[in-house]
Amino acid sequence: MEIKGYNMPEDLYYHEEDAWVKLESDGTVTIGMDDFYQKQAGDTTYVDLPFEGDTITQGETCGKIQSSKWVGKFVAPISGEIIAVNSELENDCRLINKDPYGAGWIIKVKPSNLEAELKNLAHGPEAIKKFIDDHLAKAQKGG
C-alpha cells in the first residue's frame, strides 16, 4: 500500500520508531525498518545490532542505525528473544534501503507478549495512513 510516496505493506505492524513487524506462520516475527525511515534517513552506513539469544523489550533501544544524515536508535517493536540477526547487513547495510521489507530485515524474534503488544502498533489501512500523516507532521516540525 502506498501512502504519500511511502511503501507501507498493510499486512505488517508498525512501531512509532519506524520498525515494522511481520507475523510468521511459525509464531515468530521478523522485524526491520520501514520505508518512511529509509527515505528520511538516507543511505544506511552502519548498523550496530543486538545478538542472537538477547532478550529485547518493546519500546527499548536494542541497537543503532547510522545513515548519511544521522545516527538513530533501533527500538524494539515487540518483546522477546532474538532467534536470528541478519548477518548480510554486516556486508551491505544498504539492504535496509534497497529492500526494507525483504533482504533488509534486521532481526527475527520469538515474541514473549505478542497479543498484548500488537495493540500498541499501527496496523490496517486507516491506522497506517494516520501513522504516515503523524510522522510527516512530526518531520515538518523538525522532530
The contacts of residue 110 (CB under 8 Å, 6+ apart) are: 27, 28, 80, 81, 83
With respect to residue 143, please indicate whether it lies within any of the assigned structural domains: no
Per-residue pLDDT tens listing for the chain (143 residues): 999 999 999 999 999 999 999 999 999 999 999 999 989 889 999 999 999 999 999 999 999 999 988 888 999 999 999 999 999 999 999 999 999 999 999 999 999 999 999 999 999 999 999 999 999 998 888 65
Q: What is the pLDDT of residue 83?
A: 98
Domain tally for the chain? Answer: 1
pLDDT recorded at residue 140: 84
Tens-digit pLDDT profile for residues 28-38: 999 999 999 98
6 belongs to a structural domain: no
DSSP secondary structure code for residue 6 in this structure: E
Find the domain containing 119 and state its range.
11-136
**3 occurs within a structural domain:** no
CATH number at residue 128: 2.40.50.100
Q: Give the pLDDT score at 70.
A: 85
In a domain, 5, yes or no: no
Is the C-alpha dihedral spanning 4, 6, 11, 17 positive or negative?
Answer: negative
| pLDDT at residue 143 in the model | 56
Q: What is the pLDDT of residue 69?
A: 86
Let me know if residue 130 belongs to a domain: yes
94 within a domain of the structure (yes/no):
yes
Q: How much is the pTM?
A: 0.95
User: Containing H/E element for 65?
Assistant: strand 61-67
The torsion angles phi and psi of 117, rounded to 5 degrees, stand at -75, -25
Q: Is residue 4 part of a domain?
A: no
What pLDDT does residue 22 have? 98
Model pLDDT, residue 68: 87
Whether residue 11 contacts residue 22, with contact meaning beta carbons closer than 8 Å, is answered with: yes
